[in-house]
Amino acid sequence: MKIKHLQRAFALVAMAALAACGGGGSSSSTIPAPGPSTAPNVLARVVGVGDSLTAGYQSAGWLGATNVPNPLLTGTPYAGAPAPFGQENGWWSLLYQQAQNALTGAPFSPFLMAGPTSPLPLIAGPGIGNELVPANPALTGGLEFGPLYGTAPGAGCKANDQAAYSLSTVATTLMNPSGTPLDLGIPGLTIHEEIAMHQPLVPSCAAIPGIPAAVQGVVGGESEDFWPVLHGFTNLGSSLTPLSAAVSLKPTLATVWLGANDLLKYAFSAGQWQGDDTTVAQVQSDMTTIINQLKATGAKVVVANIPDILVAPQFFTVQDPAVLTAQLAPTLQPSVCDIQANAACTIELFATSQSPALPITLPEAQSLVVAVSNAYGLGATTSTPGYLTETGMLTTIETLGGVIKANPTLLANPTALATALVGALQLDPSGAGTGLGGNYFTPAWAAQVQSVNDNINNGILAAAQATNTPLVDTKTLEDNLSWKGAIGNPNPYFLQALTINPGKCCTLGFGGGILSFDGLHPSDTGYALIANAFIQTINTAYGTTINPVSPVNVYNGTGYFYPDPFAQH
């Protein structure tokens, strides 16, 4: 039950994708922007505009190097295996590979995405951020993942993170600093920052002046992702923004996927952060500007909406799993615990995985969840319950383990155990469940977050309709892959994901194989499913013939780098 030492890393998980807005201009360029595209083919120059999802960010970290050792696999048959590198396996990278194949007719090896001519701004080892990687449970207190070279919040940042803030040192964070990136996804970027951000807000891993202490964890330190992508576009001078950089590339096809960080910043700052777009009008205005400026270059554009964040396994519902079980198709094989991030399921799984196993049944685990829910106003017995975040869930498990270790006789008395758990648990009540501290969302705050989620998607839809731009519906894709797709007659997408490796993969439950360990960013397999959604929309809208990606091949590593490290095999 030695989970304590992991809490520092997981405190960053919920906020790993967030970013702040920026300031002024910069110095001369090291990479000349391409001239006008002379090729009439829509696939001649594909440019990605977006945030961490477009960047290929995974598991709370950003890495392109393929040879970074993973010391947390010591003592396992996989000792010596490299840490996962997400950029080459991201959906944009997969789309680019398939588009190159459609354009030239020749196979495009994914290994070219890791080389010096890669269109990705490849991040050197050990990466940027606190990446969560596969691990030996003996080294992590029972968990099958842990932080790679992690640093504690407030304790500064490792060399790569520090160097990323400065234009003079950013080249040391990159494997291909002289290349011209076409993937301009910047982890943490918001919709308005795409238009207005000119440089990092602070020059180092420091607190941002003038920002309330309660929201520093949401917006502090994220500017490190700006120069690793845009260091070669400083020839644009004071007009440099992520959007102006994309425009200067003169794309023939541009993908636009933004909005997730606007929602995350709002959700985890209790609405205190004002730099995001949270209304339909704000989102529509900024997205329309982005789309129109890209189209003015002659580019074809597709734009994507954002998934419902509360469906992601970053958020563990406190609802009794029996409530959902009653709604599932009788012939469906996976249980609720397989397809949904559920607090009771997680406690029961933790208990049975201990050595020796703890005799806690799923109903008893739910009784513990109800006790926690009552203490923090999470509404476990209501029709609209709240959520524990991944950090709050781990804190609860850690505390439960300590209570049982201190008094094993409590296992025979679930009521007394629940009382002791609540007494020992300290989930920052100052946040009142509004995201501050990153531990839990009350039902009222969850409803407000969902409302903003809907506003962002309605604004994206309005901009797409007003500009006659095809929409990639990632929200519906995620819904179909989640527990929502398993109610009544299971959705074909849900059933297809189950066939990737029946009995092991894949679902949207925590550890179900579609998302990586941070519960927010996709696994390799999840990115393959997203790539196909973009490919289908592009083919339909613009008459291209891009072949879809095989999620099974990505999962197995067939023709790619290695089997998906975030999915069970």
Q: State the pTM of this model.
A: 0.92
Are both 275 and 331 inside the same structural domain? Answer: no
Among residues 351, 349, 400, 353, the alpha carbon closest in space to that of 372 is found at 400
Confidence of residue 351 (pLDDT cuts 50, 70, 90): confident
Separation CA 118–CA 104 (nearest Å) = 17
Q: Which residue has the tokens 């308005």?
A: 192
SS3 170: helix
Neighbours of 70 (CB within 10 A): 24
Number of domains in the chain: 2
**Tens digit of pLDDT for each residue in 162-213?**
899 999 999 999 999 999 999 999 999 999 999 999 999 887 877 778 777 7
Are both 397 and 461 inside the same structural domain? Answer: no
Are both 304 and 321 inside the same structural domain? Answer: no
Written as six digits, the tokens of 49 are 């505009």
SS3 547: coil
- Report pLDDT for 11: 38
Q: End of a domain among 441, 462, 484?
A: 441
Are both 367 and 463 inside the same structural domain? Answer: no
**Tens digit of pLDDT for each residue in 232-251?**
999 999 999 999 999 999 99
Are both 277 and 154 inside the same structural domain? Answer: yes
- Report pLDDT for 84: 95
**How many degrees, rounded to 5, is the angle at CA 405 between CA 404 and CA 411?**
30
Are both 25 and 146 inside the same structural domain? Answer: yes
Written as six digits, the tokens of 252 are 């023939």
Are both 356 and 282 inside the same structural domain? Answer: no
SS3 546: coil
For residues 18-44, give the mean pLDDT. 46
> 336 or 231, which is more confident?
231
Residue 500 forms part of a structural domain: no
30 within 8 A of 232, measured Cβ to Cβ: yes
Over 50: is that where the pLDDT of 34 sits? no
Separation CA 366–CA 381 (nearest Å) = 10
Highest mean pLDDT among 269-273, 288-292, 402-406: 288-292
Written as six digits, the tokens of 226 are 């700006």
Over 50: is that where the pLDDT of 443 sits? yes
Range of the domain at 354: 315-441
Share of the chain above pLDDT 90, in %: 69
The least confident of 5-14, 289-298, 469-478 is 5-14
Are both 321 and 304 inside the same structural domain? Answer: no
Separation CA 72–CA 180 (nearest Å) = 34
Separation CA 533–CA 257 (nearest Å) = 13
Residue 69 forms part of a structural domain: yes
HSE-up (13 A, CA, CB side) for residue 316: 29
Three-class SS of 375-424: HHCCCCCCCCCCEEEHHHHHHHHHHHHHHHHHCHHHHHCHHHHHHHHHHH
Residue 522 forms part of a structural domain: no
Written as six digits, the tokens of 398 are 């850690």
Residue 561 forms part of a structural domain: no
Are both 271 and 164 inside the same structural domain? Answer: yes
Are both 220 and 319 inside the same structural domain? Answer: no
Written as six digits, the tokens of 111 are 């290994």
Separation CA 197–CA 439 (nearest Å) = 30
Residue 146 forms part of a structural domain: yes
Are both 76 and 117 inside the same structural domain? Answer: yes
The least confident of 20-29, 32-41, 149-158, 323-332 is 20-29
Residue 565 forms part of a structural domain: no
Q: Which residues pair with 316 in a beta bridge?
A: 388
- Report pLDDT for 24: 31
Residue 523 forms part of a structural domain: no
- Report pLDDT for 233: 97
Confidence of residue 156 (pLDDT cuts 50, 70, 90): low
- Report pLDDT for 244: 98
Residue 471 forms part of a structural domain: yes
**Tens digit of pLDDT for each residue in 498-546?**
999 998 999 999 999 999 999 999 999 999 999 999 999 999 999 999 9
Q: What is the mean pLDDT of the chain?
A: 88
Are both 459 and 392 inside the same structural domain? Answer: no
Q: Which residue has the tokens 């425009």?
A: 247
Separation CA 252–CA 45 (nearest Å) = 5
The least confident of 130-134, 352-356, 497-501, 533-537 is 352-356
